[in-house]
Amino acid sequence: MALRKLVAGNWKMHGLAVDLGEVRAIAEASRTADCDVALCLPATLIERAVRAVPGFAIGAQDVHQDDKGAHTGCVSAAMLLDAGARLTIVGHSERREAQGESDSDVRAKADAALLAGLQVILCIGESDAVREAGQAVATVSAQLDASLPHGEGAATGVPARLAVAYEPIWAIGTGKVPSIADIGEMHAALRRRLQAAYGEAGDAVRILYGGSVKASNAAEIFAVPDVDGALVGGASLKAADFLPIVAAAR
């Protein structure tokens, strides 16, 4: 089944008020896109971006699993919704590594976000050592099984509001990309894991590829079976870089 593609930008720790012009340009051009488009911005920009581009999907890059409480510096799903966000990334490898987030943390975040009504992009991916050891598919499949939402949030949110992003850690921000055959092998394996977890509903979960996607490689990646879109970091910061990727997703 061919799913409508999703092209989501991850601005990471980039973006000030002066950059809202890029958000406006991306939102304006995306109105006629043949795919869903979203930008996951720093928390400080979410509300201003939502006001600047009403109707366009603005998201966050992380969420806390609790509704509220003594969690200094954290933001809940209810707070994101209150700011106008529609989606959030969970489990990005930069957070798994720097903040020590485990698969069970990621699962709790995904469940909480889905239960609150957000869409979720759940990230998984292998290190270069794992890829070189020939263990990429087994490792990432196990990571998916252990991170997938399975609580009350999953019951209400799968598959319509869940996307999985396969992001090899060694491909993020490096300019390196797996071979088309390797992307295809991984996405097919992840589709089988989603079917095992959710039955037929697993066919409707979008599987995004992420890691050094740019205008020059997007069309080839989007043509791979079970690649249902992309999570784009560096090339999402400027409309001139991001919009050709959106255009490639038909």
Residues that bind ligand PEP (CB under 6 A): 10, 167, 172-173, 210-213, 231-235
Candidate list 22, 64, 92, 94, residue with the active-site label: 92
Q: State which residue, 30 or 61, has the beta carbon closest to ligand PEP.
A: 61
Q: Closest separation between CB of residue 151 and ligand PEP, Å?
A: 25
Question: 170 in helix, strand or coil?
Answer: helix
Q: Closest separation between CB of residue 77 and ligand PEP, Å?
A: 20
Q: Closest separation between CB of residue 94 and ligand PEP, Å?
A: 7
Q: Closest separation between CB of residue 39 and ligand PEP, Å?
A: 12
Point out which residues pair with 122 in neighbouring strands: 90, 164
In the residue annotation, 97 being an active-site residue is answered as no
Q: State which residue, 59 or 233, has the beta carbon closest to ligand PEP.
A: 233
In the residue annotation, 14 being an active-site residue is answered as no
How many angstroms from the chain centroid is the CA of residue 143? Answer: 15
Task: Write the DSSP string, 44-106.
Answer: HHHHHHHHHSTTSEEEES--BSSSSSS-TT--BHHHHHHHT--EEEE--HHHHHHS---HHHH
Candidate list 22, 94, 101, 167, residue with the active-site label: 167
* Three-class DSSP labels, 139-155: HHHHHHHHHCCCCHHHH
Q: State which residue, 164 or 235, has the beta carbon closest to ligand PEP.
A: 235
Q: State which residue, 175 or 199, has the beta carbon closest to ligand PEP.
A: 175
Give long-range contacts, CB 8 A cutoff, 24+ apart: 69-76.
75/43, 76/112, 76/116
- Which residue sits closest to ligand PEP, CB atoms considered? 233
Q: Catalytic site residues?
A: 92, 167
